[in-house]
Amino acid sequence: MIHEVMTCAPLLSPEWEDALSSLPAALDLDQTAVKFGALRRRREISSGKDLLRLAFAYGPCGMSLRSTANWACIAGLGKLSDVAVLNRLKGATKWLEHIAAELLADTGRMDFPDRYRLRLIDGTTVSAPGSKGTDFKIHASYDPATGHFAHLEITDGHGAECLTRSPVNPGEIHIADRGYAYAKGLHSIITSGGDFIVRAGWRKFRLLHSDGSRLDLFSALSEVTNAVPIDRQVIIQGRSKAYDVPARLIAIRKPPAAIEQEKKRLRRISSKKCTKLNPKSLIAAEYMLLVTSLPKDDFNTASVADLYRLRWQIELAFKRLKSILHIDRLPAKDPDLAKSWLRAHLILALLIERKSAHLLEQATQEENNQSRSPSIWRVYKLLRQSLISAIQGVWDLNPITHHGHAFWRSIWEPPRRRKRQQILRLPSLS
């Protein structure tokens, strides 16, 4: 008996080759896939290029494991079952991490102007299906000048948000919210030659005067007015005197609407947790507290506050990851498969950033002025759709009708204890 074998040409396209050309020139997909154990035996999936495409199909393309196996059969990548796709993607976790690291390192080698450059620090969470908590955290450093991520790291739900995760280079200003306000992280930035602007809570630090005496924060806040903020030299006390951090304490009074909103939020949290609200929290809610290591001669109080407000740009970057790439819709429960899924999304995001920079350079000067600037959101969405189309290729279902044994084998339902419901064959029913 002769079995029909499905033969179909790979659905390659110039767009997919163009997408691969955005990877660093020194990155050899085949060699690194073998090195990290992602490509052991070249059966069905015979190259790093095909394995990366398979990871994209399951990840950013939004396919299930079985749909990915069906697509791989149509695309000519190989005849795979859903379990085979699962095992290959689980084994590619370290390799995908290496590709993302190479993309970030290649971006980091770009030429920057002298003096200072900004790094926005924050993290976001991702939950597995059915989970009520946090299963994974994405820790990031973002460069608002180029619109590129400078550092990305994935940890489980217990990975703490701290300033020691991101590499620090001399001349960098690391900007973070109050969740990163710890003396240990600030000290690491200073010792690496960087600077920081971090929002502080009234209970985050033990602050000292320059002579080492204890600073009464609320006594200092009483000096703040709507027109005149405070900006004074302090010492942030570390775990020992060697870890003390010299800094400037800046306190700016908020507008009345922002004060009322913050107090309402604190009361709501207190009511939900059934705890008594500390009166000092209501006083501190009237001020924006910042600590920074930047010299006052180069950065006055207003400029430090303006730089801190740029931190919102990393929130927009996370929003693009979740609203356009849908990185928050994690379908996998297996930790290794989930990490491969997340890293495939991050690699695609880095490719989109590189392509968007090239695309925005082509914007005419007339359109790229202050009154009319290109929408980063629309460019990002357009490039995402372009890359997804390049990955999937043009689906040609004609070969299935003639040589579709391998395809239909992956389409069949697995054996189940419950019988499939069928319409009864009755004479009265047509």
DSSP characters for 54-108? Answer: HHHHHTTT---HHHHHHHHHHHTS----HHHHHHHHHTTHHHHHHHHHHHHHHHH
In a domain, 193, yes or no: yes
Same domain, 123 and 246: yes
Higher pLDDT, 90 or 77: 90
Mean confidence (pLDDT) of the chain: 87
Q: How confident is the model at residue 108 (pLDDT cuts 50, 70, 90)?
A: low
In a domain, 394, yes or no: yes
Q: How confident is the model at residue 352 (pLDDT cuts 50, 70, 90)?
A: very high
25-39, 246-260, 371-385: least confident range: 371-385
What is the mean predicted confidence (pLDDT) over 180-206? 93
Q: How confident is the model at residue 1 (pLDDT cuts 50, 70, 90)?
A: very low
Q: What is the 8-class DSSP label of residue 403?
A: S
Same domain, 281 and 405: no
What does the pLDDT read at residue 32? 95
Same domain, 189 and 53: no
285: pLDDT strictly greater than 60 = yes
pLDDT digits (tens, 9 = 90+) for 149-187: 999 999 999 999 999 999 999 999 999 999 999 999 999
In contact, 346 and 323? CB cutoff 8 Å: no
Same domain, 129 and 261: yes
Same domain, 387 and 275: no
What does the pLDDT read at residue 19? 86
What does the pLDDT read at residue 422? 73
Same domain, 278 and 304: yes
Same domain, 163 and 272: yes
Residue 341: both structure tokens together: 């899924």
What's the CA gap between 360 and 352, in Å, rounded?
Answer: 12
What is the mean predicted confidence (pLDDT) over 78-87? 90
- Tell me which residue has tokens 């392509």: 355
In a domain, 302, yes or no: yes
**β-bridge mates for residue 137, sequence order:** 125, 155
Same domain, 161 and 270: yes
The letter for the amino acid at 22 is: S
16-20, 286-290, 337-341, 369-373: least confident range: 369-373
Higher pLDDT, 8 or 335: 335
In a domain, 275, yes or no: yes
DSSP states along 120-141: EEEEEEE--TT-SS--EEEEEE
Number of domains in the chain: 2
**Owning domain of residue 380:** 14-97+332-361+375-411
> β-strands 172-176, 117-126: how paired?
parallel
Same domain, 274 and 163: yes
Q: How confident is the model at residue 230 (pLDDT cuts 50, 70, 90)?
A: very high
In a domain, 7, yes or no: no
What does the pLDDT read at residue 407? 66
What is the mean predicted confidence (pLDDT) over 349-356? 93
419: pLDDT strictly greater than 60 = yes
Q: Is the pTM of this model over 0.75?
A: yes
In a domain, 195, yes or no: yes
Considering 98-107, 189-198, 222-231, the range whose residues carry the highest mean pLDDT is: 189-198
Same domain, 147 and 274: yes
Edge-first strand listing for the sheet containing 245-253 = 148-156, 136-143, 117-126, 172-176, 195-199, 287-292, 245-253, 230-236, 207-208
Share of the chain above pLDDT 90, in %: 62
